Amino acid sequence: MRAVKFVGAALVAVIVVIALLLVIGIPSGFLTATIASRVEQASGYRLSIDGTTKISLWPTLNVTLNDLTLQDPKDRSGITRVTIDSVQADMSLASVWSGHPKISEIDVTHPVLYQPLLRERLPNADASPKPLALDIDGATIDRVKIINGEVVFSRVRDRVDGRISAINADAVMGRDRKVNVAGTARVGEHPTKFDIKATTPAPPVERQTIPVDFAIDMPDVLKSQLAGHAELRLNGAVVMVNGVNGTLGDGAFNGWASVDIASKPLVKVDLDFQRLAIPLAKSPDGAAGQPWSDAPIDVSGLNYVDAQIRVSANEAVIGDARLAPLALDAKLAGGILKVGTANLGAYGGQVSGEVILDATSGAPSFAMHSDLLGVRALPLLQGLAEFDRIDGKLQAKLALRSAGTSQRALMANMQGTAFVSLQDGAIRSINVAQMIRSLTSGTLSGWQDSEAQSTDLSQLSASFRIDKGQAVTTDLNLIGPLVRVTGAGTIALDTKMMGFRVEPKLVMTTEGQGRTADPVGFGIPVMITGAWSQPRIYPDMAGMLDNPDAAYAKLREMGKGLFGPDGAGLGNILNSFGLGGAAAPGGGNAAGNTNPQAQQPGQGQGQNNPLGGQLGEAIGNLIQQGLSSGAGNGTGRSRSLPGASATPAPQASPTPPTQDPPEAQQDSQPMNDVMRQLFNR
């Protein structure tokens, strides 16, 4: 009886222990050595298990490993490694007893792959590593889940740390060797969604083709989904991607690629697109007047990969600008990126040039040269820079260089030269002639925008010499049917300020570049100063800013003597251009006033005004006669103003009657000389 009781008690104890083990799990530290050995045998990598290991039998057989580290035993630095918080595998007990474990699911929590960044390729990097051949000894795996994974790219010496974080993926393996991987991640600051389908060959996979279908969504970088098909093949340390074809939005593409992953990666890509769309960030409202950003620009990642890239497209959309065709060649080696094009079509013209970006130092630098020929300016500038003020055929030559870690620094350090010429176009939303007229009554603030107005131009050109962010020109030249503006000044690229001194002139003909006559000057240079989005525009007169009212009164007083009583002659000149010049009191005008007593000395003219009185009236009559030269004989080219009498106004001083000048004197050069001596100071 005692023996029976002992056996019964022992059985009860075993049942109790088994029941407890089924609930709380079996401590299985003794299994870690076996598991690590099998992993190294199957993969060639060393597994260290620093945490607890346990086996649970309920509701299914479950094995949990904590605090794992996986690394290459040949890497003594220990930089390249994988750390895992926990791995949990569920399987059926029956499959284990059969010797062919069937794992229904493996959950890998917070795996982190640490990958060092190299500036140079290591010696013997071309030697092919041992092929990876996983030996799972007849086991099958139905599903693998990655929970909150990361890939860390780092270089301690350069203080560089980049990450692909928040990786959550679900991989489902079928019995036909088809693998579906879907999930999300964050590449830098850009959320990404991916879906990959592949058919894996039987081991070993070396030199075998793996067909892959992929779909990638990255809203912050790509306007639309990138989807396609490719054939992967492993050839030692080189991943070959052949037969690439797919779509990016509504544009198809094809090509090939390869990646050499031995030490520093070498990427080669050749893609041809039917239509390539590259979005550009839109500037917020009012950004034109905002300072340049001080946010750091980080291009240090260019030091840790080499690349050879060729991209071509029948049509490319960059921002809102459309370019066709597009052909770019890029080479990245040792942290220096060179991108060039020799045949880029843009709005009826051609663009060629090269950009060089040097990321080898702490402050990246760039240099560029570019030629634009016959490009329509409005759609190009509006699409790339949201600038819609100028239209016409653009010709430009740029040679620029700079260095800096932010937009402001790049603009402040800009150096080089630029030549810009615009022909047969218009300045939109600005009426230059009306602005000239407005300057006789007050200082202008801003460009006086008006959607209904514009200034036609035959040519607008300027050359700039740029040093430390200051773009200086001495040959600004605008030629239009009714106006001409010449001048010089400086544009501060870093502060978005400008300072120009220009001389606007009214042109007595609707001819543009082909005219031979000199225009009539405004008489006083005009200053354009301040922020380039809202500058101040005012005549360059002494005391203009100190006492603008008195200065404008002086300007109007000068106009009275120069253009007849109360400036009526000026009104007629402006009327001839459709600028609405004011009529003289009493309904008359200076050009048509034939009464020699219309103005006597001392009436309405200040005796102390050197430009008033008989001298001013005489000069005004000379101007009117010069403008009307050739109208009376009917044989020469007429330059008379509409509504003006062909008979010259009588002189206020006792001088002989004026005769019609000969054809050679149509431009009235003496009159122009007087104007220059009096006003062009």
Per-residue pLDDT of 555-571, as tens digits, reads: 555 444 334 444 444 44
Please report, rounded to a whole number, the percentage of residues in the chain having pLDDT higher than 90.
Answer: 32
Q: Is the pLDDT of residue 319 over 70?
A: yes
Distance CA 666, CA 442 (A): 34
Q: In the structure, what pLDDT confidence band is assigned to residue 521 with cuts at 50, 70 and 90? A: low
Residues 353, 499, single domain; the answer is yes
How many domains does the chain fold into? 2
Strand partners, 233: 209, 240
Question: Taking the mean position of all CA atoms in its chain, how far away is CA 253?
Answer: 24
What does the pLDDT read at residue 663? 41
Strand partners, 146: 108, 169
Please report, rounded to a whole number, the percentage of residues in the chain having pLDDT higher than 70.
Answer: 66
Are 70 and 91 in contact, with CB atoms under 8 Å apart? no
What does the pLDDT read at residue 33? 75
- Mean pLDDT of the residues in the chain: 75
Q: How many beta carbons lie within 10 A of that of residue 283, not counting itself?
A: 11
Work out the average pLDDT over 13-31. 53
Question: Closest by alpha carbon to 427, among 398, 459, 404, 472?
Answer: 459
- Angle between helix axes 613-627 and 548-562 (nearest 10 degrees) is 60
- What one-letter code names the amino acid at 453? Q
What does the pLDDT read at residue 667? 45
Give the residue from 173, 189, 220 where a domain finishes.
Answer: 173
Position with higher pLDDT, 263 vs 506: 263
For 49-75, the pLDDT digits (tens) are 888 888 777 777 888 889 988 887 777
- What one-letter code names the amino acid at 284? P
Q: Examine residue 255 and state whether it is found in any structural domain, yes or no.
A: no
Give the residue from 152, 173, 194 where a domain finishes.
Answer: 173
Distance CA 93, CA 60 (A): 7
Q: Is 622 helix (H, G, I), strand (E, B) or coil?
A: helix
Work out the average pLDDT over 447-474. 86
For 603-653, the pLDDT digits (tens) are 444 444 444 444 444 444 444 444 444 334 443 333 333 333 333 443 333
Residues 165, 313, single domain; the answer is no
Q: Is the pLDDT of residue 266 over 60?
A: yes
Q: Is 383 helix (H, G, I), strand (E, B) or coil?
A: helix
Q: In the structure, what pLDDT confidence band is assigned to residue 662 with cuts at 50, 70 and 90? A: very low
Task: Tokens for 431, please give them.
Answer: 């009426």
Work out the average pLDDT over 231-244. 92
Highest mean pLDDT among 170-174, 413-417, 446-450: 413-417
Task: Check whether the bond before 204 is cis (ω within 30° of 0).
Answer: yes
Q: Is the pLDDT of residue 370 over 90?
A: yes
For 522-539, the pLDDT digits (tens) are 557 888 899 887 888 888
Work out the average pLDDT over 156-162. 85
CB-based contacts of 498, cutoff 8 Å, min separation 6: 489, 490, 491, 492, 528, 529, 530, 531, 532, 535
- What are the CA-CA distances from residue 387 to residues 325, 458, 493 (Å)? 23, 20, 16
Q: In the structure, what pLDDT confidence band is assigned to residue 411 with cuts at 50, 70 and 90? A: very high
Distance CA 295, CA 405 (A): 8
Q: Is the pLDDT of residue 674 over 60?
A: no
Give the residue from 156, 173, 190 where a domain finishes.
Answer: 173
Distance CA 484, CA 505 (A): 5
Position with higher pLDDT, 439 vs 614: 439
For 586-598, the pLDDT digits (tens) are 333 333 343 433 3
Task: Tokens for 422, please give them.
Answer: 């615009």
Work out the average pLDDT over 207-220. 92
Q: In the structure, what pLDDT confidence band is assigned to residue 147 with cuts at 50, 70 and 90? A: very high
- What are the CA-CA distances from residue 626 to residues 13, 66, 520, 589, 669 (Å)? 128, 100, 10, 17, 9
Q: Examine residue 192 and state whether it is found in any structural domain, yes or no.
A: no
Are 367 and 308 in contact, with CB atoms under 8 Å apart? no
Q: Examine residue 222 and state whether it is found in any structural domain, yes or no.
A: no
- Burial class, 61, CB count within 10 angstroms (exposed 0-12 / middle 13-18 / buried 19+): buried
Position with higher pLDDT, 507 vs 193: 193
What does the pLDDT read at residue 287? 55
Q: Examine residue 24 and state whether it is found in any structural domain, yes or no.
A: yes
- Angle between helix axes 568-576 and 613-627 (nearest 10 degrees) is 20
Q: In the structure, what pLDDT confidence band is assigned to residue 501 with cuts at 50, 70 and 90? A: very high
Q: Examine residue 288 and state whether it is found in any structural domain, yes or no.
A: no
- What one-letter code names the amino acid at 574? L
Q: Is 680 helix (H, G, I), strand (E, B) or coil?
A: coil
What does the pLDDT read at residue 590? 36
Distance CA 62, CA 93 (A): 9
- What one-letter code names the amino acid at 433? A
Q: Examine residue 287 and state whether it is found in any structural domain, yes or no.
A: no
Q: In the structure, what pLDDT confidence band is assigned to residue 282 with cuts at 50, 70 and 90? A: low
Q: Is the pLDDT of residue 252 over 60?
A: yes
Are 485 and 502 in contact, with CB atoms under 8 Å apart? yes
Distance CA 601, CA 613 (A): 5
Q: In the structure, what pLDDT confidence band is assigned to residue 413 with cuts at 50, 70 and 90? A: very high
What does the pLDDT read at residue 630? 37
Q: Examine residue 553 and state whether it is found in any structural domain, yes or no.
A: no
What does the pLDDT read at residue 182? 96
Q: In the structure, what pLDDT confidence band is assigned to residue 541 with cuts at 50, 70 and 90? A: low
Q: Examine residue 310 and state whether it is found in any structural domain, yes or no.
A: yes
Question: Closest by alpha carbon to 528, among 431, 447, 437?
Answer: 447
In this structure, are strands 160-173 and 190-199 parallel, antiparallel, or unpaired?
A: unpaired
Question: Closest by alpha carbon to 313, among 326, 331, 304, 300?
Answer: 326
- Burial class, 167, CB count within 10 angstroms (exposed 0-12 / middle 13-18 / buried 19+): buried
Domain containing 85: what range? Answer: 1-173
**Comparing 97-111, 168-182, 650-664, which segment has the lowest mean pLDDT?**
650-664
- What are the CA-CA distances from residue 170 to residues 194, 213, 598, 605, 613 (Å)? 11, 16, 97, 93, 95
Are 512 and 481 in contact, with CB atoms under 8 Å apart? yes
Strand partners, 102: 140
Q: Is the pLDDT of residue 503 over 70?
A: yes
Are 653 and 595 in contact, with CB atoms under 8 Å apart? no
Position with higher pLDDT, 350 vs 287: 350
What does the pLDDT read at residue 86? 93
Distance CA 146, CA 164 (A): 14
Q: Is the pLDDT of residue 170 over 80?
A: yes
